[in-house]
Amino acid sequence: MRPKKTILCVDDNEQILSVRTFLLETRGYRVVAAHSAQEALAVLDQYLPGTLDLILCDLIMPQMDGNELVRRAKQLHPGLPAMIVSGTVNAFDRAVHADVFLPKGASSPAEMIERIRVLVARKRGPKKTVVASTSQSPQLGSFTHATAS
């Protein structure tokens, strides 16, 4: 059995945080919930770099917005994937430090789960079988060229 991936989920809205936590936990993720950016930074300090698999946070929060939180999180945990969610669609320009931006309500829970799955897989890196097959690139290259002709 694969170890569970750990997601730091941050939102100042208690209802949204508990719904998101439930959604992720029922999909097999371990969730660390934080009610503020400051609480999230405290959590980040407790974890070693590489032990968290994703930070998922709201953009608009009091004291510190999600973009600043993600910037600080990536300083503490280089390579940590980040997804910012916001109820204001025009907030996209403010989510510059995130790997993915999703507008609340404009994307389904299934789309969010799929984006999370891709981000967590990207953090893990390529599988060894993929790396091994790239060493045979001359054979693959000629095959690709032959089919393209």
Output the pLDDT for position 134.
41
- Number of structural domains (the chain) is 1
Here the tokens at position 125 are 């890196």
1 part of a folded domain: no
125 part of a folded domain: yes
Output the pLDDT for position 92.
57
The answer to whether residues 7 and 24 touch, using CB atoms and an 8 Å cutoff, is yes
DSSP H helical segments within 34-136, as ranges? 37-46, 66-76, 109-124, 128-134
Average pLDDT over residues 51-67: 94
Residue 83 belongs to what domain range? Answer: 6-148
pLDDT band at 90, cuts 50/70/90?
low
66 part of a folded domain: yes
Residues β-bridged to residue 85: 58, 102
| pLDDT digits 0-9 by tens, 107-137 | 788 999 999 999 998 765 544 443 333 444 3
Residue 105 contacts by C-beta under 8 Å, 6 or more apart in sequence?
Answer: 87
Average pLDDT over residues 34-45: 97
| DSSP designation for 92 | G
Going from the C-alpha of 130 to that of each of 33, 62, 114, 115, 133, the distances in angstroms are 34, 44, 21, 21, 5
For the domain that residue 35 is a member of, what is the CATH number?
Answer: 3.40.50.2300
The answer to whether residues 8 and 56 touch, using CB atoms and an 8 Å cutoff, is yes
Going from the C-alpha of 121 to that of each of 37, 61, 111, the distances in angstroms are 25, 28, 15
